[in-house]
Amino acid sequence: MAIKKPTGTKDLLFGEAQSWRDFQNLAFEHFAKFGYIECYLPTFEQTELFVRGMGVTTDVVNKEMFHVLSSQNLRTAMEAGSLDALKVKNRLSLRPEGTAGVVRCVIENNLVLQGAAPVKLAYAGSMFRAERPQSGRFREFYQLGVECIGSDSVFMEAECIIMLAQFLEDFGIKPEITCILINSIGCEKCRDVYRKKLVVFLKSQESKFCEECYRRAETNPLRVFDCKKLRCVAVMKDAPTIDQYICEDCRKKFEQLKKLLKLGAVQYVEAPHLVRGLDYYTANVFEVQVDSESTGLGAQNAIGGGGAYAHLVKDLGGSDLPGFGFALGYERCVLALGEVKVHATDASTEKYYVACVDENLREHAFEYALKLRTEGKIVEIDSQGRSLKSQFKQADKFGANFVVILGPEELADGQCRLHNMQTHEETLISL
């Protein structure tokens, strides 16, 4: 029986492969204008990084991590009957998100020196969560994100959200179907007061929640807001919200964020129920949602989100540096777009097909194709001894703009024919 791809994964082929590259290129170019530089970090890290980073009671850490075991470590764990038998450095997991890895990298490479400007990093790549697959929800998915570490300025936070809104529009996601939700979830001071009020409410309603939220009410009450089950959503509509409890500092930061977003012409909606699913957030958070129905995304309509994390760097062993960032889910962005969109390529990516009129000239075709590629052109040649007619058919399939035809007489004069695939004009050119 043929082997199939694992559940919840996807083959990115043809237009989709190109579109993922476009998505990244367009983003990296745009983000570079704001000082973000790209980085590529490990796909797996020590499990401890995610546990300490995202919080042990979050769904992602608790239920959705993929663990990575070498054969030796698998044997050790099986003999002991637990992953805990492994040394901490051998407990590894596929990254479920990018923020914790970026923070680890910033600490390990000492990227923010005391008194220096914040470090701004952009990343793109696969993330892994063992969730139940459905439209817009995969087990391996692609994220694009940025992190700015070393500044707690609201200007930087607003700039980050404005940069994202501009990118989404450039990529083709219509502002009419997009909604940017913002909230302040407070700092450790005000959140503690709020948490107590919330727990009182949750206890008074406990019979109405699903089993999981019943447990969450004890372990991590804010997470009850993340539950998508209708009965829990209905109860949480009446829950106290943090906006009534945030301290003066957090309120000021939130008001300033709103003012700056207006300056940047970004439309937003205040969402007091927005808490985000990971524990590291503090104060200003946001989420980009798209219309559930027209995009077919249903409950998975958050195409991106992020916020501030005042203590993550310290919690992961670094100095006391605040951070802010976001991540976008590529698959959901494509669904929001309604089509796989490949952005216009420039002239340097014109495609060439080098054809030869007989088999003896194959080596010349091979050599000429190599030469064209060193000039930055995209070039294909025949590898199966096809006739000239079938080489033309292949060139057409390849999407060639030009076919270079090598024939013995032209070659003897150091020339070849250049066939324009659109106009079918042929000109003699020098090799």
Minimum CB distance to ligand HAM smaller for 322 or for 329:
329
Please tell me the distance from the alpha carbon of residue 388 to that of residue 359, in angstroms, as a whole number: 10
Nearer to ligand HAM, 313 or 416 (CB): 313
Q: Is 222 in the site for ligand HAM (CB under 6 A)?
A: no
With respect to ligand HAM, which residue has the nearer C-beta, 73 or 284?
284
Query: Does residue 331 bind ligand HAM (CB under 6 A)?
Result: yes
Sole binder of ligand HAM in the list 223, 325, 357, 416 (CB under 6 A) = 325
Where b means 16+ CB within 10 Å and e means fewer, 348-383 reads eeebbbbbbbeeebeebbeebbeebeeeebbbbbbe
Which residue of 99, 183, 241, 301 would you call a contact of ligand HAM, by CB under 6 A? 99
Q: Minimum CB separation from ligand HAM for residue 100, in Å?
A: 8
CB of 400 to ligand HAM, least distance (A): 35
Pick from 53, 118, 145, 221 the residue near ligand HAM by CB under 6 A.
Answer: 145
Q: Which is nearer to ligand HAM, 58 or 394 (CB)?
A: 58
For the bound state, the minimum distance from the C-beta of residue 274 to ligand HAM, rounded and expressed in Å, comes to: 11
According to CB under 6 A, which one of 95, 104, 137, 223 is a site residue for ligand HAM? 137
Helix axes 99-108, 47-54, angle to 10 degrees: 110
Task: State which residue, 58 or 241, has the beta carbon closest to ligand HAM.
Answer: 58
With beta carbons less than 8 A apart as the criterion, state whether 348 and 329 touch.
no
Question: How far apart are CB 331 and ligand HAM at their closest, in Å?
Answer: 5
Q: List 406's β-bridge partners, or say none.
A: 356
Minimum CB separation of residue 341 from ligand HAM in Å reads 17
In whole angstroms, the minimum distance from the beta carbon of 38 to ligand HAM comes to 15
Q: Which stretch binds ligand HAM (CB under 6 A): 17-25, 329-337, 406-414, 421-429?
A: 329-337
Q: Which is nearer to ligand HAM, 73 or 93 (CB)?
A: 93
Q: Count residues binding ligand HAM (CB under 6 A).
A: 25
Report the nearest approach of ligand HAM to the CB of residue 149 (Å). Answer: 10
- Nearer to ligand HAM by Cβ, of 271 and 356: the residue is 271
28 token code pair: 């990296």
Tell me whether residue 89 or residue 132 sits nearer to ligand HAM (CB atom): 132
Residues 36-95 that bind ligand HAM (CB under 6 A): none
Nearer to ligand HAM, 143 or 241 (CB): 143
The residue whose Cβ lies closest to ligand HAM is: 329
Answer for which of 45, 59, 97, 159 binds ligand HAM (CB under 6 A) is 97
Residues 6+ apart with CB under 8 A from 32: 122
**Per-residue contact string for residues 270-309; x = within reach of ligand HAM by CB under 6 A:** -------x------------------------xxxxxx--
Using the rule CB under 6 A, is 131 a contact of ligand HAM? yes
Site residues (CB under 6 A) for ligand HAM? 97-99, 129, 131, 136-138, 141, 143, 145, 147, 277, 302-307, 325-327, 329, 331-332
